[in-house]
Chain A
Amino acid sequence: MDYRQTSQTKKAYKKTDTFERQELKRLVFALAVFLAVFLGKKIYPQKILQVGQQVLAVVGQSIDFDTAFTNLGKTLQTDGSPLEGLESFCIEVFGPQSQKISAQTQQDSCKLRPEITLQKTGLLTGIQETAVMYSSHTVPASSKDQTVPDVPEAIPAVGTVLTVGEEDQELPVGYTADQLSFGALETVVPVYGSLNSGFGYRDHPVNGKYLFHGGVDISANAGDPIAAFASGTVDYIGKDDSYGLYLQLDHGDGIKSFYAHCQKLCVQKGQQVTAGETIALVGATGTATGPHLHLELKCGELRVDPAYYVEFLSS
């Protein structure tokens, strides 16, 4: 009798032990997650914000399972090999999502603007017409019948000064008023709008101080799509009190474009984009008095005046 009691007590102890061990495991796990988020936010606030953005972007994406299953069903119905069907199904579900993202963003009113892609602005407009003729597709109608020279003129290397800018005041370090060549890069106008505020010194519209403005402000309606200046990859995305929602594209050869005050970002870090693809929507996030796009262009270490490279609507 005594023996049975002891063994039952032992069993009871064992059960409590297991239960407590499990509870402890869960507690440690929850504590680790809490500490990671808490310390992360204190030490690397920007990084955590970026991760948050990425997580939201990933969660917000939805794979089109309906189409994937329908395609798989079609391979069965059309006497296709089920294995091949399953293979393409796996690629569709687990693989790259670039096509699906663009399909989804189209639904989200982030539409590609064909008129923008068509209206390519020759980078070297008026300066290197012959070079443009060979580098981009904007062949002027009148030049069609011209005899093509045997050796085409070389496109100026990236960073070559094309126009020397005139500035009354000395610019801060890292900025130039000169027009630098972007090589053979094909570009489009991100947003067609009037120039609100140009590159150079100005009275800040919010704090009233006389400060240098390192880009251009293009006025547009909130929610208007922002097209990628040129093809490239998304360098980074982020959010802060000053620029609001922002992102930077890397077009290679040290050429980068930066877009700020967006209402919504339609791309993720590391994503490949083509010129003219919608990357964000115009907004008034951060320090802004109204919806507009703040655009900056960089060539190597220097920020250049975007007015040389994009067109504005005359207000």
Chain B
Amino acid sequence: MIPDFLSIHPAFLLLLAFLFYRDDSGVTALAALACVLHEFGHIFVLLWQRKNIRKIYFTPFGVRIELGSALSYSQELFAAAAGPLVNLGLAFLGCYISSWTCFSGLNLALGTFNLLPLGELDGARIFQAALALCGADGVVHSICRSLEWCLLIVLTAAGFVLLLRFGNPTLLLTAGWLAARHIQKNEEKFQEKESN
């Protein structure tokens, strides 16, 4: 029933079910729509670059697109920027449509969050591709990686403080999500190296 180029992790469906269950205001559906449009931004640019999309993975840590061939740095830059740009575009479009207030705010939040140069977010990919294009690849790459870890640790610590001080677990959950995503990506890279 599911096409070959789609792979859906059971935990992704569980997470989605939980979010829909917890949500009374319908904001999850809007967020899902914004995420789908975000991914369409990526896919559109990749297709425009005539790249072969091999498989799309839906995991609890986000959507991952597997390609048939590698991207050049400039292609990577455009492909990574396309997702957040779609969200920011929708956010500014929403300024002129009064019934889009929530959707507009959601897109602005999603777009800017993805532009953070953190973990495996689009911002980090744009940042690294841009630095590589400027000719500073090797050293900067390792500095970026250590900076990412530092930021993750700071975010986790701040998340703990906010949880204990105000009982708000959102930042801690966000940091945990970013860390899990980071670890998952590292494991994949490690596996790729091993299998090569």
Determine, out of B41-49, B78-86, B162-170, the stretch whose residues face the partner at the interface.
B162-170
Taking a contact as CB atoms under 8 Å apart, the answer to whether A77 and B101 are in contact is yes
Which residue of the partner chain A has the closest CB to B26?
A: A66
Taking a contact as CB atoms under 8 Å apart, the answer to whether A94 and B102 are in contact is no
Determine, out of B9-17, B90-98, B127-135, B136-144, the stretch whose residues face the partner at the interface.
B90-98
A73 is an interface residue with CB less than 8 A from chain B: yes
Say whether, besides A62-B22, A96-B168, A72 and B195 are in contact (CB < 8 Å).
no
A127 vs B105: C-alpha distance in the bound complex, in angstroms?
A: 58
B121 is an interface residue with CB less than 8 A from chain A: no
Other-chain residue from A14, A22, A95 in contact with B166 (beta carbon distance below 8 A): A95
Determine, out of B51-59, B68-76, B145-153, B186-194, the stretch whose residues face the partner at the interface.
B186-194
B160 is an interface residue with CB less than 8 A from chain A: no
Other-chain residue from B92, B95, B103, B190 in contact with A18 (beta carbon distance below 8 A): B190
Taking a contact as CB atoms under 8 Å apart, the answer to whether A95 and B162 are in contact is yes
Q: Which residues of B contact A61 (CB under 8 A)?
A: 167
Other-chain residue from A14, A89, A96 in contact with B105 (beta carbon distance below 8 A): A89
Within 175-234 of A, Cβ neighbours of B (below 8 Å) are at: none
Q: Which residues of B contact A57 (CB under 8 A)?
A: 167
Q: Which residues of B contact A85 (CB under 8 A)?
A: 105, 108
Other-chain residue from A18, A66, A72 in contact with B27 (beta carbon distance below 8 A): A66
A116 is an interface residue with CB less than 8 A from chain B: no
Within 101-143 of A, Cβ neighbours of B (below 8 Å) are at: none
A51 to chain B minimum Cβ distance, whole angstroms, is: 12
B37 is an interface residue with CB less than 8 A from chain A: no
The number of chain B residues with a CB under 8 A from chain A is 36
Question: SS class of chain A's interface: helix, strand, loop or mixed?
Answer: helix
B87 is an interface residue with CB less than 8 A from chain A: no
Taking a contact as CB atoms under 8 Å apart, the answer to whether B171 and A94 are in contact is yes
Other-chain residue from B22, B100, B169 in contact with A73 (beta carbon distance below 8 A): B100
Other-chain residue from B30, B92, B95, B108 in contact with A86 (beta carbon distance below 8 A): B108
A73 to chain B minimum Cβ distance, whole angstroms, is: 3
Other-chain residue from B102, B109, B170 in contact with A63 (beta carbon distance below 8 A): B170
Which residue of the partner chain B has the closest CB to A61?
A: B167
Which residue of the partner chain A has the closest CB to B22?
A: A62
B7 is an interface residue with CB less than 8 A from chain A: no
Taking a contact as CB atoms under 8 Å apart, the answer to whether A69 and B194 are in contact is no
A268 to chain B minimum Cβ distance, whole angstroms, is: 5
Contact with A along B92-127 (1 / 0, CB 8 A): 101100101111111011001000000000000000
A193 to chain B minimum Cβ distance, whole angstroms, is: 31
Most buried by A among B168, B187, B195: B168
Taking a contact as CB atoms under 8 Å apart, the answer to whether A15 and B194 are in contact is yes
Q: Which residues of A contact B94 (CB under 8 A)?
A: 73, 76-77
Which residue of the partner chain A has the closest CB to B94?
A: A73
Taking a contact as CB atoms under 8 Å apart, the answer to whether A70 and B194 are in contact is no
Q: Which residues of B contact A274 (CB under 8 A)?
A: none
Taking a contact as CB atoms under 8 Å apart, the answer to whether B162 and A73 are in contact is no
Taking a contact as CB atoms under 8 Å apart, the answer to whether A72 and B108 are in contact is yes
Q: Which residues of B contact A68 (CB under 8 A)?
A: 105
A77 vs B94: C-alpha distance in the bound complex, in angstroms?
A: 8
Contact with B along A261-280 (1 / 0, CB 8 A): 00000001011000000000
A290 is an interface residue with CB less than 8 A from chain B: no
Say whether, besides A61-B167, A65-B27, A96-B168, A76 and B105 are in contact (CB < 8 Å).
yes
Which residue of the partner chain B has the closest CB to A100?
A: B168
Q: Which residues of A contact B191 (CB under 8 A)?
A: 18
Q: Which residues of B contact A254 (CB under 8 A)?
A: none
A30 vs B91: C-alpha distance in the bound complex, in angstroms?
A: 42
B25 to chain A minimum Cβ distance, whole angstroms, is: 4
Provide 7 A-B residue pairs closer than 8 Å at the C-beta atoms, listed in order of the A residue: A63-B168, A74-B101, A74-B105, A76-B92, A76-B105, A96-B166, A96-B168
8 residue pairs, one from A and one from B, having the closest CB atoms: A72-B105, A73-B105, A73-B101, A66-B25, A69-B105, A73-B104, A96-B166, A69-B106
A interface list, Cβ under 8 A from B: 11, 14-15, 18, 22, 54, 57-58, 61-66, 68-77, 82, 85-86, 89, 93-98, 268, 270-271
9 extra A-B contacts, CB within 8 A, seeds A66-B25, A69-B106: A18-B191, A18-B194, A63-B168, A63-B170, A65-B31, A69-B30, A86-B109, A97-B168, A268-B167
